[in-house]
Amino acid sequence: MEKMLHAAPVHATLPECFIFPADKLPQAKATSGAVSLPIIDLSLCRDDVRRAILDAGKEIGFFQACI
């Protein structure tokens, strides 16, 4: 693994093709500060958990599973 990391190219800066133009960046929207995150009960039946994860992904855009 270490040899693979040494063989990888080293970039001092991010290549231009990966830089999104500043005028195209999404603008931050003001929020009330209150955030309601979905809580998913992993002890439910598999179909209910699957549906809850899909809904959380659609509503919030991400989810975190804690064990």
50-66 per-position pLDDT tens digit = 999 999 888 888 767 66
What's phi and psi for 23, nearest 5 deg?
Answer: -75, -10
Using CA atoms, how far apart are residues 56 and 67, in angstroms rounded to an integer? 18
User: Which pLDDT does position 16 carry in this prediction?
Assistant: 82
Q: Domains of the chain: which residue ranges?
A: 38-67
Write out pLDDT tens, residues 9-45: 666 787 888 888 888 877 877 777 777 788 888 899 9
User: Which pLDDT does position 51 carry in this prediction?
Assistant: 93
31: Cβ–Cβ under 8 A, 6 or more apart, which residues?
none
User: Which pLDDT does position 65 carry in this prediction?
Assistant: 66
